[in-house]
Amino acid sequence: MKGIDVDTYGTLNEVLVRLFRDIMDIEQRAVITPEFNNVTNNDMHVIEAIGINEPKNMSAIAKELSVTVGTLTIAMNSLVKKGYVIRQRGKEDRRVVYISLSEKGKEVYGHHARFHQEMIEGAISGLSENEIEVLTKALTKLNRWFRGLNK
């Protein structure tokens, strides 16, 4: 192992394993409120990919999520039924379906964004600028490593 002792390896292993195991549960508990009691983590990933800007077509959202349009359609049907998403046919090409968030969808998007902001603030609280830079670099490398595994 690259220049780390057994204790450091054990600590990193424990922290990463627990973090990956817990993060989805923590996020789910943070997002579910009486107002948004029917939102799943999968729903939130789709809502995040849709975003609050211009409507997107299904292909663009599927690409961002690394899923097929067919898989996305199943999730989208659920989100439309729950009232978080609006589907609209293209004005120029009726075959194209554009997706945007409803007002309810925008509210849950904002609620989730606030959770992320609090998470980041908690992660960097008390760190120096140099430590934040090192943490960002390390997490970026880890993210690239995981994305490389999916190819």
- Total structural domains within the chain: 1
CATH code of the domain covering residue 140: 1.10.10.10
Give domain status of residue 145, yes or no: yes
Q: Which two tokens stand for residue 137?
A: 């670099």
Q: List b or e across 10-40, with b for residues whose CB sees 16 or more CB atoms inside 10 angstroms.
A: eeeeeeeeeeeeeeeeebeeebeeeebeebe
Q: In this predicted model, what pLDDT tens digit does every residue of 51-83 receive, in sequence order?
A: 999 999 999 999 999 899 999 999 999 999 999
Give domain status of residue 1, yes or no: no
Q: Which two tokens stand for residue 53?
A: 């800007």
Give domain status of residue 86, yes or no: yes
Q: What is the mean pLDDT of residues 74-101?
A: 92
Give domain status of residue 34, yes or no: yes
| Residue range(s) defining the domain that contains residue 143 | 6-149
Position 150 scores a pLDDT of: 61
Give domain status of residue 98, yes or no: yes
Give domain status of residue 32, yes or no: yes
DSSP states of 59-78 = HHHHHHHT--HHHHHHHHHH
Q: What is the mean pLDDT of residues 113-138?
A: 94
Q: What is the mean pLDDT of residues 18-41?
A: 85
